Amino acid sequence: MQRWLAALLVALAPAWGCRPAPSCRPARVPPAPASPRIDATYDPSPSTVVTAMLELAEVGPDDRVLDLGSGDGRLVITAARDYGAHAVGVEIDPDLVRRSRHAIRTAGLSDRAQIVQGDLHRHPLADATVLMLFLWPSDNLRLRASILAEMPPGARVVSHDHDMDGWAADATREVASPEVLGRYGEPSTIHLWIVPADFAGCWTDADGHARLTLRQGFQVLGGRLEAADRQLRFDAGRARGASATLVARDETGAVDVRIRAQPSGLELRAESLGLDVTILTPCPSITP
């Protein structure tokens, strides 16, 4: 984590003969060693950041919150105590595991909060509806593919400080409380991602009157809709979990289209084309 490392370097600066100036900051994050290992060093999120992260994810009693690298358990405990969620933390440091388990017992939260001792990169993600991260940027990137593959559409991911590189956040907030400014001297940034469904591919209705071809880059959709004797194109459709909206165009004009991933296929609505709740399924593959 660049900022922690910068803080550490600043603290050590006199011993190194280096003044606490920007030149003391590391130019880049060191490459991640092979797993299992301690990735991000322990730096507890300030309590105002903890609350802001849980608020940004809109955590509630139906959620299963997972904090990868849970430190002293503060996110797990706050999610369970103040938001009624079930919460699990994964922590590799045995001392922090002991401390956080003790804090959970003392708070009387053992029925809803749990700490697993182990490597965060080996922990399954499929059961969580909310994922909390305060790790190195390289950890976020390493986790990105598993998040998209394992977490259900609509699951929320919140990261303190670091982004997901090419996967743009759905929302970003700054936390500039006196606690944060006193600790870091600058606001903390928190990012939210909503896991999109996998929409990519060719989809058609039962009688072949509508055909939707979708390309997908994270939550951004482009492609083509052929329906009602029109050939429409779009390139900035936006997915939010299992749903997506897009504006498809041809020379005649623009059409609002909504799609939703369902167990039975892709539900399509484009009222101005006369398509009310049309179920699309994958196009039959063409065999030579």
Ligand X SMILES: C[S@@+](CC[C@H](N)C(=O)[O-])C[C@H]1O[C@@H](n2cnc3c(N)ncnc32)[C@H](O)[C@@H]1O
Binding track, positions 90-109, relative to ligand X; x by CB under 6 A: xxxx--x-------------
Instruction: Give how far Cα 5 sits from Cα of 87, 119, 120, 135, 178, Å.
Output: 29, 22, 21, 12, 21
Whichever of 75 and 225 has its CB closer to ligand X, that residue is 75
Q: Rounded to the nearest whole angstrom, what is the least distance from the CB of residue 62 to ligand X in the complex?
A: 22
Q: Which stretch binds ligand X (CB under 6 A): 104-112, 117-125, 163-171, 280-288?
A: 117-125
Q: Rounded to the nearest whole angstrom, what is the least distance from the CB of residue 135 to ligand X in the complex?
A: 6
- If phi > 0 it is left, if psi is from -120 to 50 it is alpha, else beta; for residue 179 that is alpha
Query: Applying CB under 6 A, does 55 fall inside the site for ligand X?
Result: no
Binder to ligand X among 70, 114, 188, 216 (CB under 6 A)? 70
Letter string b/e over residues 120-142, b meaning 16 or more CB atoms within 10 A of that residue's CB = bbebebeebbbbbbbbbbbbbbb
Q: Which residue is nearest to ligand X (CB)?
A: 69
Sites for ligand X among residues 154-183 (CB under 6 A): 160
Instruction: Give how far Cα 233 sits from Cα of 198, 249, 261, Å.
Output: 19, 5, 20
DSSP 148-181: HHHSPTT-EEEEES--BTTB--SEEEEE--HHHH
Whichever of 123 and 238 has its CB closer to ligand X, that residue is 123
Q: Which stretch binds ligand X (CB under 6 A): 12-20, 89-97, 229-237, 270-278?
A: 89-97
Query: Applying CB under 6 A, does 67 fall inside the site for ligand X?
Result: yes
The rounded distance, in Å, linking the Cα atoms of 288 and 285 is 10
Query: Applying CB under 6 A, does 220 fall inside the site for ligand X?
Result: no
Whichever of 91 and 170 has its CB closer to ligand X, that residue is 91
Sign of CA dihedral 242, 246, 248, 253: positive
Q: Rounded to the nearest whole angstrom, what is the least distance from the CB of residue 276 to ligand X in the complex?
A: 46
Q: Which residues pair with 131 in a beta bridge?
A: 66, 157
Task: State the residues that interact with ligand X by CB under 6 A.
Answer: 36-40, 42-45, 67, 69-71, 74-75, 90-93, 96, 119-121, 134, 160
